[in-house]
Structure 1
Amino acid sequence: MSTVSLVRFTLYLAVIVIALGAYTRLSDAGLGCPDWPGCYGKILVPQSQADIALANQAFPERAVEPYKAWLEMIHRYVAGTLGLLIAWITFRCWKERTISRTLPTFIAALVIFQALLGMWTVTLKLLPVVVMAHLLGGFTLLASLSLLYWKLSHPPAPHGLQRLTGESNHGLKLFAAAALVVVVLQVMLGGWTSSNYAALVCTRLPICEGQWWTMLDFAKAFDWWQAGHDNYEFGVLSYGPRMTIHVVHRFGALVTTLCLLLLIYKCWQWASLRSEAKLVAGVLTLQLALGIANVVLHLPLWVAVAHNLGAASLVVAVLYTNYRIWTTAVRN
């Protein structure tokens, strides 16, 4: 298998890991195994009555729930396989020297840090800032693998050609980069909303029910460390702070939508970027529809998982648009 094919396969697996992580988290199975990297001290989930009794004795604070435990362990098994593939990709990139070693080395370091975040998610009992960071780590890993794949399969245009077009699309480059930052910030807000179990506190559109503005509490809503709690499962914040997080996420969605609509408009002015404009428009439309469905349908599991995948797709779509703008000869 060529390196390009290996990276493409690893990309698909990264999407599966993100989906499994979202499904595990949204099924309240993030602590399905109270230890790490095993499950109740075993490589496999305890199955027999005797093993379950021993596990319950060793971890009296959390009785074995086989379904949740298996969700957690399947996610770990697949994520571990992803890590091994990334190690192999890094080795091959270093050996073949087809591109700079910086990006594959960064990806290898990132997957190690992501594993640490997975461990801290369990050992710190779903501390929201760690859960959010773990989500961002997964998205960053997917984006980095995508960038590696593009560099291997679609190398940048010759440097001289870039210089010829650099002045004319300088403003577009800066705006595309800013749009990517806005999308990442919105993903952070989404992760913070999910990790604080604030997705269902507002059940009406467009903002929230009642006089929501009278209950805003930004200090508690964005207290990143939330110290003094032994367990953060199902959240520790009161209604006001959770509602604040949700409302900020909705306003963030509005700002993100406006930024991306402007990016789509700017890209459409260039004939060579219309495919990217269509890509961003399609993913944005789908993500908005999924976000509305989450509210109207009261967060059904499959919609919530799809919304996570939609966020990851939006990051990749905007990143790809940046890649095309910054590395290709853009023509009117």
Structure 2
Amino acid sequence: MKKLVLASIFLALVVIVLGAYTRLTDAGLGCPDWPGCYGTLLVPQTEELVERANQAFPERPVEAEKAWNEMIHRYFAAGLGFLILVIFLSALVKRLRGKNVPIKLPFVIFCLVCFQGALGMWTVTLNLLPVVVMGHLLGGFTVLSCLFLLYLRLTPYRIPGGDSQIRKLAKFSLIGILILVWQIALGGWTSANYASVSCVELPICQGDWFSQMDISGAFSVPEAENYEFGVHSPEEKVTMHVMHRIGAIITFLYLCWFAIAVYKKSSSGLMKRLAVTMTLVLGLQIILGVSNVVYSLPLVVATMHNAVAACLLLVMIMMSYTMYRKY
């Protein structure tokens, strides 16, 4: 079961990266239907199938590259869902046989991945509605986090010699997770509304950006038939981008303070290593974020920005779990 959970964690990371890649290549509607693609399980390839697909969906003719990006993401997501089902059934069987294994958390993860599948469907059927797209992103991070938490619960480890001083910082680790999740949500909202390149200068936005900000409009959802490429005004997109930058500064400062505090107060080599790891991952994430602006959202850099955010969240979860673990 532990090996299955570990495999699911890696697969969840792959799904998150593929989801980001799909979004960044504008392939979210590469297949206009769900769960298939133009009515089939594979992307139409022959001239006959392509012609039939174009007739069925005249508003969205077949673009094979985008369609494959979307379907590969769906295939991997389906594989993750199957693995999670196996984990839940395995935990259920072991519990019925009297073994002491977690059962509530696998059930929660199974429910989450089912809801995540529904969000994936709504992403297509509601034509990239930003709230759904952002929810789909957060759902992926939530599934990954819960799988990692399950892995930690299945791993019997203790802090060598105990570390009572570090427990005083435990509540700050939870605050750090909340701040990080909020920043991920801001990034998801910025990306879902195609506002990632609305500011192309550092450290400020271009022109008189402060007077252009429209916070209420930036976090509203205008009515539209299709949300592809965004429906907000340029001023609202600038606001989204600026709020994500402000969130990045707050997250960076808080997590740096937290890492320094943990390193100074901890008598455990494990916690010190986690603090250093978190700082390095955080630094990499900032570099990737700056590079997105300087180089106008390169595909590889923007995709890695999502992956590193997931890794940073996992490090924070491990730090918090270790602090609260009884010893």
Q: TM-score band, normalised by the shorter chain?
A: over 0.9
Instruction: Say whether the 8 Å CA contact 1:207–1:250 is kept in structure 2.
Output: no
In the TM superposition, what are the counterparts of 1:39-118 in structure 2 within 5 Å? 39-97=37-95, 98-118=100-120
Which residue of 2 is the match for residue 241 of structure 1? 236
The alignment status of 1:265 with 2:260, answered yes or no, reads yes
Q: Which amino acid aligns with 2:186?
A: L
TM-superposed CA distance for 1:207, in Å, is 2.7
2:224 is the counterpart of 1:222: no
The Cα shift of 1:262 comes to: 1.2
Contact 1:30–1:126, Cα closer than 8 Å, also in 2: yes
1:129-278 equivalent positions in 2, closer than 5 A: 129-154=131-156, 165=164, 168-223=165-220, 225-226=221-222, 228-268=223-263, 269-272=265-268, 273-278=271-276
User: Which of 287, 291, 303 pairs up with 1:305?
Assistant: 303
Percent of aligned positions with the same letter in both sequences?
Answer: 48
- The aligned amino acid for 1:188 is A
- Give 1:238 deviation, angstroms: 1.0
Q: Which amino acid aligns with 1:142?
A: L
Secondary structure, aligned partner of 2:228: coil
Q: Shift of residue 171 of structure 1?
A: 3.4
Runs in 1 of length 4+ with deviation above 2 angstroms?
A: 97-100, 154-157, 168-171
Give the whole-Å Cα distance in 2 for the aligned partners of 1:316 and 1:174.
17
Flag structure 2 segments of 5+ consecutive residues without an equivalent: none
Taking a change above 3 Å as real, the CA distance of residues 271 and 328 of structure 1, as seen in their structure-2 partners, is farther
- Deviation track 1:204-257 (CA, whole Å, cap 9, x = no partner) reads 11131211101010111011x32x200000000111000000000000000000
Q: Cα distance, 1:278 vs. partner? A: 0.9
Shift of 1:148: 0.7
With normalisation by structure 1, the TM-score equals 0.93
**Structure 2 residue matching 1:63: 3-state secondary structure:** coil
The answer to whether the 8 Å contact 2:167/2:323 transfers is: no
Aligned partner letter, 2:192: S
Would you say the 8 A contact 1:23–1:301 is kept in 2?
Answer: yes
Aligned equivalents of 1:6 and 1:32: distance in 2?
A: 31
- SS class of match (2:113): helix
What value does the CA root-mean-square deviation take over the aligned residues? 1.6
Residue 154 of structure 2 aligns to a residue whose secondary structure is: helix
* C-alpha contact (below 8 Å) 2:166/2:262 kept by paired residues: no
Q: Say which SS state the counterpart of residue 109 (structure 2) adopts.
A: helix
Shift of 1:155: 5.2
- Give the 3-state SS of the residue equivalent to 2:230 in structure 1: coil
Inter-partner Cα distance in structure 2 for 1:22 and 1:271: 39
Distance 2:158 2:227 in 1: 46
> How far 1:12 sits from its partner (Å)?
1.0
Bigger shift: 305-314 or 98-107?
A: 98-107
- Secondary structure of 1:153's aligned partner: coil
Output the CA distance in 1 between the equivalents of 2:156 and 2:285. Answer: 27
Q: Deviations over 1:291-316 (max 9, x none)?
A: 01111111000000000101111111
Deviation at 1:169, TM superposition (A): 4.3
Answer whether contact 2:116 2:136 (CA < 8 A) is retained. Answer: yes
Q: How many residues align?
A: 320
| Mapped pair 1:315 → 2:310 | no
- Give the one of 23, 29, 32 matched to 2:30: 32
**1:99-138 deviation line (CA, Å, top 9, x unaligned):** 3311111100000000000000000000001000000001
Where do 5+ consecutive residues of structure 1 fail to align? none
Residue pair 1:45, 1:73 contacting (<8 A) in 2 also = yes
Q: Which residue number in structure 2 is paired with residue 20 of structure 1?
A: 18
Q: Is the 8 A contact 2:167 2:324 kept in 1?
A: no
